[in-house]
Structure 1
Amino acid sequence: MFEFYNDDQKMIRTVVRELVKKEIAPHAAEWDEEDRCPKELVKVFGELGFLGVFVSPEYGGAGLGITERAIILEEVARHSAGFAMTLMTHDLCTAAIYNFGTEEQKKEWLPKLCSGEIIGGLSVTEPTGGSDLMNHATTIEKTDDGFVLNGRKVFITNSHIANLNIWTGKIGVNEKGRNILSAILIPPGTEGYSAGRKEHKLGLRGSVTGDTIAKDVKLGPDAIIGKEGKGAGVALHTIGNFGRSGMSAIALGVIKGSLEEAIKFGKERIIYGKPLVKIPAIQEMIAENQIEYEAASAMLYNATTVYDRGEDAVARLAAVKYFATEAAIRSSRRTMDLMGGYGVINEYPVGRFLRDAVTNIPSGGTSQIMKIIVAGNALK
């Protein structure tokens, strides 16, 4: 496990763990079964300073980094990876504005996002595919009064609860006929903007995922995030750094939850007159879960520390996103095997862990895309 946390980071982990124990752990199974997102808890996390922790204090944040954000998401995901996904995506909206917004946009929206007064969303994926970023059907038409947005986004987390949204859309084509994208902000209550289909997911069911729809949405000239025509950069930076570090932290929480459940069950289950954990084969399974947690933890917090130092961490974060999300599947499946018949009984959380782990894979880029990024960096 990463062993270089400072005192503030250790304190954050302790405080969040107590909050999760009180507000999330007792309800995680219920949220999963009902496929319900407890959006009221977003404000609780905001009031405690756990939203947008990477935002500077002048805009309402804690002035920390994505390392502290990952610690928070890991602790939440130990019990509810779905609700961790809600918080993770909220912070994507925050990050896009913080890193690319104008001073006016930052002052208007960041304090409300950091406090949880409003919930943020980021809509990039289209029916034509998520990995093919530039193949956008959504259009941003420039007018005398600003912009008109039309399109449909799919598989969008916080689709039905976010009231501040950032979209990407095609604003033109270059001399080679390739799409030029812009990122644009949709304020709460904007006419023509709506949520569409709500998806019935396998896992991550403490979050809501679905379509977002823009039909002749009229936005002012100050709605663009970043420079006009540079929306691909906004999306890639936000997803590549904040999205993948967040998904990795969620996977890490699932691995930790699987490890803890394996140890707890193994100590309580008596077989052949002794606790299950006394059997060498079971000890091997627990050791494998522990090793995967140690490796994923070291990879994640090394990568986030590199980013927080101001260095490029995209390839490192792609590597940990691949490793941690795949390891979460292995760890939860391993715990399920360890538990035998009890592992497939829904009174135990390991089935939820496995479903969450599987659902985590395509979020923020599939495992195959992560390996392409890692290879591309290695071959430079």
Structure 2
Amino acid sequence: MNDMQEQDRMILDSVDRFCTTEIDPVAHDLEAKDEYPHQIVEKMKEMGLFGCIISEDYGGLGLSTEVYAQIIERIARSWMSVSGIINSHLIMASAVQRAGTEEQKAEFLPRFATGELRGGIGLTEPDAGTDLQAIRTTAVRDGDDYVVNGTKTWITNSGQGNCIALLVKTDPKAEPRHRGMSLLIAEKGPGFNVARKLEKLGYRGIDTCELEFKDYRVPANRLIGGEEGKGLKHVLSGLELGRINVAARGVGLAQAALDEATSYSQVRKTFGKPICEHQAIQLQLGEMATRTRAARLLTLDAARAFDRGERCDMEAGMAKYFATEAALENATAAMRIHGGYGYSKEYNVERLYRDAPLLTIGEGTNELQRIIIAKQQIERNPA
């Protein structure tokens, strides 16, 4: 094992210990109260996890996407909400690292890496989700500033965080529409208002909010890349990373459901023997274990393609689609294996059952992933 592999192993081992000692003991209670995990976040700052994939040149850990995906899997296995605190933040950071000016990188990446500036991406609006070109939030140039007006919703890390990568229309009349879209580094300030925290079925404990921008001013030098009209391009390249992350979360949740079902099936007895000895339960466990392993391999395959710098929207889409469906199917199977206890808030499987559906919707619905996969299949294999 070379030095880099040894370093990666040490990092993953430290994340395992972090999950066991810092997340597992409190996840159940914090999730039930929908309470933000402040102490967990502070520990993640100390560990440098907010700088996972930020270059060492800017104070980050400089980890590969492959290692990052394994970190996310481990955290999601303990409590999926905590993994979201890192994911949205690093999509924002990677947009700056990949497309920002040298001045923007020098100013913001070190602060992102420490978690001093922490946040996510402001894309979705009440009438624009998957169709991002339909956004209505505008940014009008006024001297050395942009003046922003509009509404964003379902924005992760926007309550407790203090900065987002904000997708806006700098030219609402542009055709095609994406040529009028830009991405701004938006720190909280006058006119940047958190309107409300959204109540959710699952994915609790993390702040998901609706934002209102009323004559909010952003310095023009916060335009990522320094050129208008490139915002959608910056966002879409970042979503490959986001989908790998969500796939890793799916793997973690699928593994958690498998772990819970495997353990419970060995202690619960019916008709004089543990239920794991009944063929009906064995069939379920066999399916769950296979789905989990397949999901993990697809996710690592996509992460490695991303690390090689290859276009990987097909691979990321496959991983995201399969792994999140595996999470949903495994969570459902774990609940059924637990019987009545699976429906009780006393057991973790009830939380897994509520968390899993979000993964099939977020970062592009699974219906959209299948369309992306099909289009790439055709494009890569012309008749």
Same fold (TM over 0.5): yes
Structure whose residues are more often helix by fraction: 2
- Give the match's secondary structure for 1:379: helix
Aligned-partner Cα distance in 1 for 2:97–2:375: 28
Letter in 2 for 1:39: H
Give runs of aligned pairs for residues 39-118 of structure 1, distance below 5 A. Answer: 39-118=38-117
Aligned-partner Cα distance in 2 for 1:54–1:82: 19
Aligned-partner Cα distance in 2 for 1:32–1:175: 44
Give the TM-score taking structure 1 as reference length: 0.95
- Give the match's secondary structure for 1:361: helix
Match of 1:237 in 2: 237
Give runs of aligned pairs for residues 116-265 of structure 1, distance below 5 A. Answer: 116-173=115-172, 176=175, 178=177, 180-188=180-188, 190-226=189-225, 227-239=227-239, 241-265=240-264
Match of 1:367 in 2: 366
Q: Which blocks of at least 5 consecutive residues in structure 2 are unaligned? A: none
CA RMSD of aligned residues (A): 1.6
Aligned-partner Cα distance in 2 for 1:123–1:331: 31
Aligned-partner Cα distance in 2 for 1:286–1:129: 40
- Does 2:333 match 1:334? yes
Match of 2:348 in 1: 349
Q: CA deviation at 1:51?
A: 2.1
**CA pair 221-129 structure 1, distance change in 2 beyond 3 A:** closer
Q: Which blocks of at least 5 consecutive residues in structure 1 are unaligned? A: none
Aligned-partner Cα distance in 2 for 1:75–1:97: 26
**CA pair 212-43 structure 1, distance change in 2 beyond 3 A:** same
- Give the match's secondary structure for 2:204: coil
Q: CA deviation at 1:373?
A: 0.6
Residue pair 2:49, 2:86 contacting (<8 A) in 1 also: no
Aligned-partner Cα distance in 2 for 1:251–1:298: 12
Q: CA deviation at 1:174?
A: 5.9
Deviations along 1:1-43, one digit per CA (max 9) or x if unpaired, are: xxxx944433332211110011101111112111122134223
Match of 1:281 in 2: 280
- Higher RCO, Cα 8 Å, sep 6+: 1
Q: CA deviation at 1:173?
A: 4.5
Aligned-partner Cα distance in 2 for 1:377–1:91: 26
Instruction: Name the stretch that deviates more: 72-81 or 38-47.
Output: 38-47
Residue pair 2:122, 2:155 contacting (<8 A) in 1 also: yes
Aligned sequence identity (%): 33
Match of 1:17 in 2: 16
Residue pair 1:192, 1:215 contacting (<8 A) in 2 also: yes
Residue pair 2:158, 2:164 contacting (<8 A) in 1 also: no
Aligned-partner Cα distance in 1 for 2:134–2:290: 40
- Give the match's secondary structure for 2:83: helix
Aligned-partner Cα distance in 2 for 1:24–1:371: 34
Match of 2:35 in 1: 36
Letter in 2 for 1:316: E
- Give the match's secondary structure for 2:25: coil
- Give the match's secondary structure for 2:298: helix
Instruction: Name the stretch that deviates more: 41-50 or 158-167.
Output: 41-50
Aligned-partner Cα distance in 2 for 1:352–1:47: 28
**CA pair 343-107 structure 1, distance change in 2 beyond 3 A:** same
Aligned-partner Cα distance in 1 for 2:30–2:245: 21
Deviations along 1:311-332, one digit per CA (max 9) or x if unpaired, are: 1111110111111111111001
Match of 1:358 in 2: 357
